[in-house]
Amino acid sequence: MDSVTQALFGATVAAAGFHRTLGRRVVVAGAVLGTVPDLDVVAGWIGDGFTNWRHHRGITHSLFFGPLVGPFIGRAVAGWESRRRGEAAPDPTRLRAWIWLSVLVLLTHPIIDAFTSYGTQLLAPFSDHRFALNAMPIIDPIYSGVLLLAVLMAGFSRHSERAVPVAGMALLFITAWTLHGWALGERTQRMARAQLSDQGIVAGSVEAYPLLFQPWLRRIVAESPDGIRIGRHSMLAPGPIAWTHVPQTPDPRFAAVVDLPEARLLDWFSGGHTAWRVTETAGGGSTVEISDTRYGMGGASLLGFWGISVGLDANGQVATPPRIFSRRPSADADFLGTFWRDLTQGPGQ
């Protein structure tokens, strides 16, 4: 999820579990802790896009990070608090609360991230496998709005009798909302696979990725021996999926690119969900493009919002180093209008 939502989630966990012990200001601490794992984006600021692909949602998003780092943060906060109060040592009850708060917030951060499509290395550093359940978009106003209401009530209320139940109900709603999104994705995949089967197409992989701000409208990518089929489907307006078939014909020029470190990185980052194509350039050269098919819309971004391109010379050898390209459409009125119609009436209506 986006960092704002992660901060709201951390604040809600703090309010639900620790408002009675630590007071209403604990929501601020929970919000700050909720953003700590996302500090790994600094790697992208120091390096480049390839660095960000490698390290974002890495070690700080491991299931081991919270239990190992949380106690140190909790002890540090409790110690700072006791010195501020003029106490010789932290109160044992408050010390335990600060430790558990730190562990829980740092632990829940990667768990809710794993329900998006981006991929989260839950088992780092022992495995770099990226877990992605395709249940929720990275930004969801309903998800964030419910958390915001709970945080506001907890932050302005001195009475835990009001704040704690509201925060607890918000977390229950978020759990149900996430599982609802997961179920929608599974239903969409089953329906897509059945439609393809009726057309005599056997797909090896069918993925339904949530699109922008909601769980109902999804981008569906089906991989089969004769290429990739891409469609969109809204569970609010069910109907047949209009597929766009993108053949994936092997080209000998791909051999010059497939083993490049950047190509291997993109394949790992996308979970193997990539599309390849080659275009001719002036002077007998060519350009090989590899797109991450998980995120995309129509038009120029049909194959994906981003990927890498590599220039080859007339002999099919690498002539220019790999670079990241981006084809995200502008969020203008036409785009948003089309998106709303696709969501409420079905794609192409």
Tens of pLDDT, residue by residue over 259-295, are 999 999 999 999 999 999 999 998 889 999 999 999 9
Q: Rounded distance, CA 312 to CA 285, Å?
A: 6
Q: Rounded distance, CA 326 to CA 104, Å?
A: 36
pLDDT band (50, 70, 90) for residue 349: low
Residues 58, 149, single domain; the answer is yes
User: What tokens appear for 242 in the block?
Assistant: 């209009």
pLDDT in tens, 223-235: 999 899 999 999 9
Residue 165 lies in a domain: yes
Residues 152, 272, single domain; the answer is no
Residue 224 lies in a domain: no
Domain hosting 257: range is 249-326
Identify the H or E element spanning 89: none
Residues 13, 154, single domain; the answer is yes
pLDDT in tens, 37-79: 999 988 777 777 799 899 999 999 999 999 999 999 999 999 9
Residue 282 lies in a domain: yes
pLDDT at 171 over 80: yes
Residue 41: predicted pLDDT: 86
Residue 289 lies in a domain: yes
Residue 223 lies in a domain: no
Residues 162, 261, single domain; the answer is no
Residues 171, 287, single domain; the answer is no
Residue with tokens 């974002």: 56
23-34: average pLDDT: 94
Going by their DSSP bridges, the two strands 286-292 and 306-312 should be labelled as antiparallel
User: What tokens appear for 20 in the block?
Assistant: 């009675």
Residues 46, 136, single domain; the answer is yes
Q: Tell me, what amino acid is at 245? A: H
Boundary residue ending a domain (146, 166, 181): 181
Residues 9, 90, single domain; the answer is yes
Residue 332 lies in a domain: no
Residue 144 lies in a domain: yes
> Is there a contact between 31 and 151 (Cβ–Cβ < 8 Å)?
yes
**CA Rg value for the chain:** 23
Residue 155: predicted pLDDT: 81
pTM confidence score:
0.91
Q: Give how many domains the chain has, as a whole number.
A: 2
Residues 40, 163, single domain; the answer is yes
pLDDT band (50, 70, 90) for residue 150: very high
pLDDT at 127 over 80: yes
Strands in 205-210's sheet, in edge-to-edge order, are 205-210, 217-224, 227-234, 244-246
Residue 262 lies in a domain: yes
Q: Rounded distance, CA 232 to CA 187, Å?
A: 14
7-18: average pLDDT: 96
Mean model confidence pLDDT for the chain: 93
Residue 195: predicted pLDDT: 94
Helical axes 92-113 vs 26-35, angle rounded to 10°: 40
> Is there a contact between 110 and 129 (Cβ–Cβ < 8 Å)?
no
Q: Rounded distance, CA 221 to CA 192, Å?
A: 9
131-160: average pLDDT: 91
Task: Single out the residue of 200, 147, 198 nearest to residue 6, CA to CA.
Answer: 147
Residues 118, 256, single domain; the answer is no
Q: Rounded distance, CA 19 to CA 29, Å?
A: 11
Boundary residue ending a domain (127, 150, 181): 181
Strands (E), the chain: 205-210, 217-224, 227-234, 244-246, 274-280, 286-292, 306-312, 318-326
> Is there a contact between 102 and 33 (Cβ–Cβ < 8 Å)?
yes
Residues 57, 152, single domain; the answer is yes
Task: Single out the residue of 65, 78, 11, 67 nearest to residue 39, CA to CA.
Answer: 65
Residues 140, 259, single domain; the answer is no
H-state helical runs in 85-140: 92-113
Whole-angstrom CA distances from 328 to 245, 266, 268, 270, 311 are: 21, 17, 21, 17, 22
pLDDT band (50, 70, 90) for residue 156: confident
pLDDT band (50, 70, 90) for residue 4: very high
Residues 133, 267, single domain; the answer is no
